[in-house]
Amino acid sequence: MTHEFSLAYAQGLDKADKLASFRDRFFIPQVNGQDAIYLCGNSLGLQPKSVLQHLQVELNDWAGLGVEGHVHGKNPWLYYHHFTQESLSRIVGANKKEVVAMGSLTANLHFLLVSFYQPKGKRTKILIENRPFPSDRYAIESQVRWHGLDPQAEIIEMKSREGEAFLRTEDILATIEQYKDELALVMFGGVHFYTGQLFDMARITAAAHAVGAFAGFDLAHASGNVELKLHDWNVDFACWCTYKYLNSGPGGVGGIFVHEMHHQNEMLPRLHGWWGHDEANRFKMEDRFVSMGTAEAWQLSNAPVVALAVHKASVEMFDEAGMQNIFAKGKQLSNYFLFCMQYLQAAGVPFDILTPTAESERGCQLSLSFHSQGRSIFDQLTRDGVIADWREPGVIRMAPVPMYNTFSDIFKVAELIKSSFENNR
């Protein structure tokens, strides 16, 4: 599709946008008395206006019923984690039994590594992406040490080719093949937090399985952003946070996926708590642990109702908007954003796009490297009412998202980048 670099054109796309009405259902941060151009959904999604009402229901039940709210609340708290499972299954492409909202991302990653990183004999290594998010690296390194092994020897970190910002799928597959007898696990981000590269999770999983390794993904930057088919791809496990594209609030509840092929495998080690125990008999308080037999078996504690109420408010909007509409608009926004950035490059604004340009290899986020001018351009954009995300050295990450960003936001930010560059010259 050919695009145009003009406000009128962007406004035309906004008029035709099926999801346009959702923007009014979010609080848009204000800068200088106006709506900010908020491009930080990859860091913290905006607050749905319905959150307060969802919280109010639970606070009222707590106030009015006390402990009885567990059973007699409008949404009985004993089962609160069930209320988001169906929506989550649509968001990550799973069946309902394979997903549950629980805990927090790094803690969940540890729980899942307990199950899916089982070094044995020669098969002790973990393959990770280039420069993973530090928390993932720390978690993986500490798990390797927990097994009495040396992270330097056991963690294989992918490297992009000389002069290239992102990884080639063929190189990932070749590395899996190279270490085929030694790999215990392939553990990647679904979308790379820094470059915005969307990895080919289906092929990576198939290649990992072909050599006898597990495949797991941190979907912090993928869930709610790109179409996922975790069940069909046979992904072993995944975890994510909900405060980015899933708009469920700062430090919000995390989520996990465990493929059903592992649900009945009682040989798989797992850390246990009472919320992983068979729900029907949980309150018999018996000594022997009986697994839920679903992804819920990985739950330890009772459901964090306040955080889940926010999550529920948010995922209900995803259901209402429809995942296919969300993904289609996400692609449209990202393609228009890329077009505008390439237009600026052709007009002589000197910066690099670190994110792959192929549509199948990116989600909403573009990472732009402005080199030594990065900080001053970023600061100018901030003064002009753009909320984006800064990463050393010189990289600005921006992610227009389907439910509250417009095509006009993208055009305006492109114009601001252009004028900021001209002022900096």
Ligand X SMILES: Cc1ncc(COP(=O)(O)O)c(C=O)c1O
Question: For ligand X, which residue of 50, 75, 95, 106 counts as binding (CB under 6 A)?
Answer: 106
Question: Both tokens of residue 87?
Answer: 């929506």
Strand pairing report for 125-128 and 155-157: parallel
Question: For ligand X, which residue of 48, 69, 189, 304 counts as binding (CB under 6 A)?
Answer: 189
Size of the site for ligand X (CB under 6 A): 12
141 binds ligand X (CB under 6 A): no
Tokens 């099926």 correspond to 18
Site residues for ligand X, 228-267, by CB under 6 A, read 241
C-beta separation of 371 from 351 below 8 A: yes
What is the rounded distance in angstroms from the CA atom of residue 105 to the CA atom of residue 422? 41
The phi and psi torsions of 16 (rounded to 5 degrees) equal -85, 0
CB of 243 to ligand X, least distance (A): 7
Q: Which residue is nearest to ligand X (CB)?
A: 106
279, burial (CB in 10 Å: exposed 0-12, middle 13-18, buried 19+): middle
CB of 136 to ligand X, least distance (A): 5
Question: For ligand X, which residue of 47, 85, 104, 247 counts as binding (CB under 6 A)?
Answer: 104
Type of residue found at 155: I
Question: For ligand X, which residue of 17, 58, 61, 136 counts as binding (CB under 6 A)?
Answer: 136
Q: How many CB atoms lie within 10 A of CB 44?
A: 17
Buried b (16+ CB within 10 A) or exposed e, 314-341: bbbbbeebebebbbebbbbbbebbbbbb
CB of 354 to ligand X, least distance (A): 16
389 binds ligand X (CB under 6 A): no
CB of 332 to ligand X, least distance (A): 24
CB of 190 to ligand X, least distance (A): 9
Site stretch for ligand X (CB under 6 A), options 48-56, 214-222, 299-307, 333-341: 214-222
CB of 199 to ligand X, least distance (A): 12
SS3 for 109-124 is HHHHHHHHCCCECCEC
Site stretch for ligand X (CB under 6 A), options 10-18, 53-61, 218-226, 348-356: 218-226
Ramachandran region, residue 196 (left: φ > 0; alpha: ψ -120 to 50; beta: rest): left
Query: Which C-beta is closer to ligand X: that of 106 or that of 160?
Result: 106
Query: Which C-beta is closer to ligand X: that of 241 or that of 341?
Result: 241
218 binds ligand X (CB under 6 A): yes
| Nearby residues of 9 by Cβ (< 8 Å), 6 or more positions away | 3, 411
Question: For ligand X, which residue of 91, 187, 208, 220 counts as binding (CB under 6 A)?
Answer: 220
Site stretch for ligand X (CB under 6 A), options 77-85, 213-221, 271-279, 328-336: 213-221
Tokens 């597959």 correspond to 173
Query: Which C-beta is closer to ligand X: that of 5 or that of 188?
Result: 188
Site stretch for ligand X (CB under 6 A), options 26-34, 98-106, 315-323, 404-412: 98-106
Question: For ligand X, which residue of 83, 133, 404, 411 counts as binding (CB under 6 A)?
Answer: 133
Question: For ligand X, which residue of 188, 193, 217, 245 counts as binding (CB under 6 A)?
Answer: 193
Type of residue found at 152: Q
Ramachandran region, residue 355 (left: φ > 0; alpha: ψ -120 to 50; beta: rest): beta
What is the rounded distance in angstroms from the CA atom of residue 54 to the CA atom of residue 307? 10
**ω before 393 within 30° of 0 (cis)?**
yes
Point out which residues bind ligand X (CB under 6 A): 104-106, 133, 135-136, 189, 193, 218, 220-221, 241
